[in-house]
Structure 1
Amino acid sequence: MTNSRLLIFLTTFLFTTSSYAQETFTISGTIQSASTGETLIGVSVIAGTAGTASNEYGFFSITLPEGAYRLEISALGMQSKSVEVELDKDIQLNIQLEEASQSLEGVTVTAPSEGRSLESPQMGVEQLSAEEIKNIPVLLGERDIIKSMQLLPGIKSAGEGSSGFFVRGGARDQNLILLDEAPVYNASHLLGFFSTFNSDAIKNMTLYKGGMPAQYGGRLSSVLDLKMNEGNNREYDVSGGIGLISAKLNVEGPVQKGRSSFLVTGRRTYADLFLKLSNDSTINNNTLYFYDLNAKINYTLGDKDRIYLSGYFGQDRLGVGETFGLDWGNGTGTVRWNHIFNNKLFSNTSLIFSNYNYKISIRSGAADFDIFSQIRDWNLKQEFQWFLNNRNNIRFGFNAIRHTIRPGEVTSANSSINPEILQKRRSLENSLYASNTWEASDRLHITYGLRATAFSILGEGEFYRIDTEGKVTDTMSYKKGDVVKTWFNLEPRLAASYRLNDNSSLKASYARNVQNLHLISNSSASSPTDKWLASTNLIKPEIADQVSLGYYRDLFSGKYELTVETYYKDLQNQIDYRDGADVFWQGDAIETQLLFGKGRAYGLEWHFKKKTGKFTGWLSYTLSKTERQIDGINNNNWYRARQDRTHDIAIVAMYQLNPRWTLSANFIYYTGDAVTLPAGKYRLDGDIIYYYTERNAYRMPDYHRLDIGATWKLKQREKFSSELTFSLYNAYGRENAYTISFREGENDPNITEAVQTAIFKFIPSISYNFKF
């Protein structure tokens, strides 16, 4: 079927909806927390056999035949509420829910499972609550959303202590990370050991790893959608924490009570202060720290309008005396306008800014220069959500992004070094999308949609043709504003769930995703100097087609849940370095260092979770395979991708010993990473040269560790609460390999010795958290 026919077919199907002969009326409104005034996401609203849920901004709409109804409103962590309604006209009903209180005797803990639903067609959704993230022991006690997320099936750590992650065989850059709708291009601090996200500033976290909804695009493997807290519009709150290496503070409160609020959250490490305690000048003159700031303000203009302004700024600084410096950081800003046109049509308009840059400074006599690189976006997004009736919920909208990439600029005050400025790359990414979630019957639910993208490469600059050997054969020049090439793609999405009985369901999904921004890296771990490139006349958009099938079951009256999903992903236009490529290439024609081919990833994921009681937790297991096939690499045969791991196991347990003590532990095991190691060596002019054969043919040693933690609640009063958290990372001191290097044998230079380096062993931590 041609692209035009497919578009006509899906568009016609999309808006085919059922109608009702009986007169109906609509109940709509916004659901908020009674204590803070924050809107609540995913609140269940049930009336008889009909039901809906509040959207990302707390808005809901449900249409029913005329009559008397009891609305049952419930949300995780909140007290349920019943509302009697006599429905003989459209009704606006704004609802406030109280937080669920826990008595000191007979405490029962409920572990949320917001993304897991038997009815919803959406597959591959993962969510963690703030309570779960708080209790999971992590490195140096710094609560970390991304590292906690790596304990879920299908989501793999990029390495020891790393905040980078792989999803279902995808590379690091194939994950779209959004903070209040703004893309974050480097989500790591301190070379990947911490993520950029302060958990105190985050309201909601949702990860889509399969069958992404049509409103998301631009990446192949996953979407991590993070929503920031809005701030308390009832009263002022201050909270914070002090740990071994960092401190944080959160301040929120009303600007105009009941109508507007603000939030400011800051965090800074003080590892650099410990360096200054040393008497060694080679240590105390070094720099090593990061800081970040989240801010948000919102204002309710009336019953139908609300304005949000939010922003994030984070910066890392690493320096070795006066000779070397590396700074990198992200900045984002979002302005959003929510408007309710009527009781069925909700609108969100967003203007979004995103910036990532790094700067390297070298100060060493004649070698005195700076290197600067940047990627900057301006983004306009308009989305409508149309609650057509109880069986059809339609989303549609458009997105326009202006990308500007400065791949590298070398400047120097030293006249002996020639400045070099690589060409800016400009592009315009436009997309239209529409989807419908259709309740075809009481048992069958279907979501279908289409995303259409046009990626235009803009001048000015030079673009190239290259031969099979990677040599430039032709150079083409374009003026500013010229369109070099436009890549068009259609991305259909289809998902369905079938309810087998009250306790189980089957789901299936298909999704095509297209990616036009690419991260060129030579390692699996995150590095601030990895290169972002846009598609060019030679670098084609990456394409992934993923098919998923899942079985879902609630066990023992909903106290346990089992999820089993399997997937197959076909990948086109994958990118890798040529054999012998210059990975530090600083020229314009980086395509000369690259090759392009295809890939495949497939696997099976198990997730077994205990949701209620004093003892909660989960077991996740992933069995997977990820491969690439690129002519010119590995004799044109299939080879393992760097992120290929056969087995990945995580066990997470939390036990509420009493009202004041909560104990926790997690155990992690995974197959060693795929790596390329030398197959031999030879001498050239007295130097040892290693030579390599197969790409990623070897593996690092298998990885495993145990972390344990405890939370001790201290003061628990109405106006003040505090707690101490303790953790021990790598409790049994496993020396997991971080790197493997090679050297000549001390006694026999003909023998090559492999040297394993481990960086974390028995890392204890303690932190103090408070709120008033």
Structure 2
Amino acid sequence: MMKITTIAIFLSAFCYAQKNYSINGVVKDQDTGEPISGALITIKEKPEISIETNEYGFYALSLPESDYTLEVNHNRHKIEVKSIHLDSAKKMNWALQKEEYKIDEIQLKNIKKYRAFSTQSKVGAEMLDIQGISKLPVLLGERDVIKTLQFLPGISSQEGSSGFSVRGGNLDQNLILLDEAPVFNNSHLAGFFSTFNSDALRSVTLYKGNIPSQYGGRLSSVVDVKMKEGNNQKFGVAGGIGLISSRLSVDGPIQKGKSSFIISARRTYADIFLNSSGENSGKKDKLYFYDLNAKLNYQVNKNNSVHLSSYFGRDIMSFDKFKNNWGNLIATLRWNSIINSNLFSNTSVTYSNYDYKISAFDLNGNVLEINPNVRNWGLKQDFSHYLGIKHTFHYGLQASYYDFFTRKLPPSFSSDFLKRERTMWENAVYINDDYQISEKLFMNYGFRLSMLNPGKGNNNKGETTKSTVNFEPRVMANYEFNKNNTVRAGYTRLTQSVQTLSNGGYGQMVNNDVWLNLNKPLTMDQVNLSYTKKFDKGYEITGDVFYKKMANLVDYKDDAGVDISDNVKNNLLFNGIGRAYGFELLAKKTKGRLTGWISYTLSKTERKIEGINKGNWYNANSDKTHNLSVVASYELSPSITFSGAFVYSTGNAVTFPVGKYEIDGQTMFQYGKRNSNRMPAYHRLDLNATYERKTTKRFKSSWSVGVYNAYGRKNPYAINFLQDENNPDKIKGVQTSLFSVVPNISYNFKF
């Protein structure tokens, strides 16, 4: 660590020798003191230069001695301008005022709108605006960042699931970070809610094409979620009351301007309605979740700050003699330091624990209990080094330790692999350069060197465990013909050393995924090419083509049951390959009363593993040919907004039986080729109306009324096959659907 810091300071000293002077600082919200990531700093005298604040609100640039006019722009804040004479290193912090929206209705068409998401310039990441998504229609009225991501191109999901597939990847191939700590299960209430309470979040950034080298360990995407730091100027309370859930957040200064806190909690109460009506009246069935986000922040001095954040959530599901509970415990201790005018350091220590418990009775009345868990400890040292006006280097090291263990397995379980405690080390070093080659051409390139040590308990006796080193290059070029036409191309290589085994499919009412470490990591190579065209009046369209190839994939053998009691490793086939390719289209309108977007994906995802489908290519579980989302919001007046969302997708790839036979009087089904059939197509329409009451200086409130699946489409969740009672020679399929029409109403407040 000391060597890396010494090298970083040396490079910074070299930068000073270039006779440029640096300007650096932090951009924050004036009212709350929250850092603003993604704010754009431009220089009037040098329009070819622009730089964005990093995820902690920090920026730095170097310029020759002269007079300059700096402008800071962020889509939710007023533009700020400052003029300086640069003859020495300068520190310029900015406190931006929020954009005012109290205007006459006749002026409404000209206001600056909140957008549900925006594209981070140059690298092509999607950044969700937490406030901008508050009026979109969602299931049960709970604002949810993960559900909003599922409206974007290249992302598919299933009803009742917080899991999602990105460009044909598996659900476990998404790296989800909460304040830099990995989240191993992002679902609540069997997937109807996500683990993320939007009241506690500051920003959400999605990478699915060009993934910078500071991220690694998953094949498909990165969802980087940052929690709020709490208002360091004044105390505030916010919350909401809905039909089946309520939430409450409190934040404020500990020492004004220097330290702050935020505490945010949620709880559902579906079990109250479950046990108070019909056949369930008087029962003690349980179906609810609760979670808690908390964060403390302390500004040690003008260059150093310390942040401690945590999350705890638990789901409780209990019906008669069956119980299924699961949850996450996450903590991060972070130290931000401005080492000098060109060098920013972030040091993080993280902890993440995910476990679940299934308890049930077998046919003999014995209690069967399973309690798997995965724990992760992480250390990250990241540097952002601003060398001149053209180069920004990001480099650092990361160390991660995993502990996998399945507790309380009954003696009858034959899986010795799951009974052993298993460990794994995953370490990495990386370097990444943001290089402004010219006014029109920008490049982001670098590499990641990851090292895997499978640790103990991963092989049978007599087998050897080998460490592996993986080289992961990344490169992306962004060329702007002019301000309205941009082409972006990139290549990314990723590896993944952990994955889950579950009962398959996207949604699952029973949580039974088991995280496993792999002796040979999965690999993925992706190339993508996109073109963006901007029009007048806030219209924008982006087309993206991609191709991915994957290696070392793992899947179940044909006719192998997904049963944790089996010898898991004997049911798996390794060294498979895969491919995914497609076209994505995103059309947006960001100005005026009517805003929204249309996303469409045309894609194909396949796997090929010897021993499955006779060694031929077969559709992956995540393969969906068509995926369409239409999202719109119409502001009727400053206080009334209508919104709607329509989604359509090809049905999931599944395997249907082609025949049946009997063994000892028991009917058995013979299944066809792997994933050669389809469920019926999925589509629904959601509607929502929001009424914002007249606000006072201290109090704001709103009512939200909506309906999920407005025309009552019975979309398939699962299809089970049974022998036809009226004709024993036939097989009939029985479709299970989760929802018909689901109304919601919620009241939200802030003071």
TM score, norm. by length of structure 1: 0.91
Write the letter of the residue equivalent to 1:347: S
How far did residue 730 of structure 1 move?
0.6
The partner residue of 2:480 within 496, 499, 502 is: 499
Alignment-derived partner of residue 524 in structure 2: 544
2:40 corresponds to 1:44? yes
How far did residue 21 of structure 1 move?
9.7
2:354 corresponds to 1:356? yes
Alignment-derived partner of residue 638 in structure 2: 659
How far did residue 744 of structure 1 move?
2.8
Contact 1:42–1:114 (CA<8 Å) still a contact in 2? no
Specify whether residues 443 and 20 from structure 1 end up closer, same or farther in structure 2 by C-alpha distance, changes over 3 A only.
farther
Quote the Cα distance in structure 2 between the aligned partners of 1:245 and 1:626: 37
Alignment-derived partner of residue 426 in structure 2: 429
Specify whether residues 588 and 353 from structure 1 end up closer, same or farther in structure 2 by C-alpha distance, changes over 3 A only.
farther
2:426 corresponds to 1:440? no
2:531 corresponds to 1:532? no
Quote the Cα distance in structure 1 between the aligned partners of 2:210 and 2:50: 23
Alignment-derived partner of residue 300 in structure 1: 299
Please give the per-residue CA displacement for 1:709-745, whole angstroms capped at 9, x wherever unaligned: 0101124111111111011111111111111122233
The partner residue of 1:456 within 448, 453, 456 is: 453
Contact 1:578–1:595 (CA<8 Å) still a contact in 2? no
Alignment-derived partner of residue 496 in structure 2: 515
How far did residue 629 of structure 1 move?
0.5
Task: Specify the SS of the correspondent of 1:516.
Answer: strand
The partner residue of 1:24 within 20, 23, 26 is: 20
How far did residue 657 of structure 1 move?
0.4
Contact 1:462–1:477 (CA<8 Å) still a contact in 2? no
Task: Specify the SS of the correspondent of 1:76.
Answer: coil
Quote the Cα distance in structure 2 between the aligned partners of 1:283 and 1:614: 50
The partner residue of 1:745 within 724, 727, 730 is: 724
Write the letter of the residue equivalent to 2:348: S
2:592 corresponds to 1:613? yes
Please give the per-residue CA displacement for 1:348-387, whole angstroms capped at 9, x wherever unaligned: 0000000000111225774124211000001000000000
Contact 1:458–1:485 (CA<8 Å) still a contact in 2? no
Alignment-derived partner of residue 683 in structure 1: 662
Alignment-derived partner of residue 131 in structure 1: 131
Quote the Cα distance in structure 1 between the aligned partners of 2:192 and 2:495: 29
Contact 1:595–1:632 (CA<8 Å) still a contact in 2? no
Contact 1:507–1:551 (CA<8 Å) still a contact in 2? yes
How far did residue 411 of structure 1 move?
5.7
Task: Specify the SS of the correspondent of 2:147.
Answer: helix
Quote the Cα distance in structure 1 between the aligned partners of 2:527 and 2:499: 23
Alignment-derived partner of residue 470 in structure 1: none
Task: Specify the SS of the correspondent of 1:274.
Answer: helix
Quote the Cα distance in structure 1 between the aligned partners of 2:639 and 2:258: 36
Specify whether residues 367 and 148 from structure 1 end up closer, same or farther in structure 2 by C-alpha distance, changes over 3 A only.
same
Task: Specify the SS of the correspondent of 2:301.
Answer: coil
Contact 1:28–1:61 (CA<8 Å) still a contact in 2? yes
2:703 corresponds to 1:724? yes
Quote the Cα distance in structure 2 between the aligned partners of 1:496 and 1:336: 32
Contact 1:22–1:65 (CA<8 Å) still a contact in 2? no
Trace 1:359-758 onto structure 2 (pairs within 5 A): 359-363=357-361, 366-410=365-409, 422-459=419-456, 461=457, 463-464=459-460, 475-476=461-462, 484-527=465-508, 528-536=511-519, 540-556=520-536, 559-586=538-565, 590-758=569-737
Quote the Cα distance in structure 2 between the aligned partners of 1:380 and 1:23: 36
Task: Specify the SS of the correspondent of 2:162.
Answer: coil
Trace 1:4-153 onto structure 2 (pairs within 5 A): 23-48=19-44, 49=47, 50-105=49-104, 106-107=107-108, 108-112=111-115, 115-116=118-119, 120=122, 122-123=123-124, 125-153=125-153
2:336 corresponds to 1:338? yes
Contact 2:30–2:96 (CA<8 Å) still a contact in 1? yes
Quote the Cα distance in structure 2 between the aligned partners of 1:21 and 1:378: 40
Task: Specify the SS of the correspondent of 1:535.
Answer: strand
Write the letter of the residue equivalent to 1:70: T
Task: Specify the SS of the correspondent of 2:32.
Answer: coil
Write the letter of the residue equivalent to 1:262: F
The partner residue of 2:324 within 304, 323, 326 is: 326
Write the letter of the residue equivalent to 2:404: I
Please give the per-residue CA displacement for 1:695-719, whole angstroms capped at 9, x wherever unaligned: 0000000111110001011241111
Contact 1:738–1:759 (CA<8 Å) still a contact in 2? yes
Compare 280-289 and 179-188 and name the one that shifted more.
Answer: 280-289
How far did residue 580 of structure 1 move?
1.9
The partner residue of 2:345 within 321, 344, 347 is: 347
How far did residue 244 of structure 1 move?
0.7
State how many pairs are aligned.
731
Quote the Cα distance in structure 1 between the aligned partners of 2:68 and 2:532: 31
Please give the per-residue CA displacement for 1:201-230, whole angstroms capped at 9, x wherever unaligned: 111000100120000000000000000011
How far did residue 249 of structure 1 move?
0.2
Quote the Cα distance in structure 2 between the aligned partners of 1:284 and 1:99: 50
Contact 1:31–1:54 (CA<8 Å) still a contact in 2? yes
Trace 1:163-202 onto structure 2 (pairs within 5 A): 163-202=162-201
Pairwise CA RMSD = 2.2
Structure 1: runs of 5+ lacking an equivalent: 1-10, 465-474, 479-483
Task: Specify the SS of the correspondent of 2:454.
Answer: strand
Write the letter of the residue equivalent to 1:552: T
Instruction: Could you list the structure 1 runs, at least 4 aligned residues long, displaced by more than 6 angstroms after superposition.
Output: 18-22, 416-421
Specify whether residues 132 and 680 from structure 1 end up closer, same or farther in structure 2 by C-alpha distance, changes over 3 A only.
farther
How far did residue 283 of structure 1 move?
6.8
2:254 corresponds to 1:251? no
How far did residue 582 of structure 1 move?
3.2
Alignment-derived partner of residue 239 in structure 2: 240
Write the letter of the residue equivalent to 1:110: K
Write the letter of the residue equivalent to 2:489: A
Write the letter of the residue equivalent to 1:297: L
The share of aligned pairs that are identical, in percent, is 44
Write the letter of the residue equivalent to 1:525: Y
Contact 2:573–2:611 (CA<8 Å) still a contact in 1? no
Alignment-derived partner of residue 471 in structure 1: none
Quote the Cα distance in structure 2 between the aligned partners of 1:653 and 1:563: 18
Quote the Cα distance in structure 2 between the aligned partners of 1:129 and 1:231: 17
How far did residue 455 of structure 1 move?
0.5
Contact 2:76–2:114 (CA<8 Å) still a contact in 1? no
Quote the Cα distance in structure 2 between the aligned partners of 1:653 and 1:369: 49
TM score, norm. by length of structure 2: 0.94
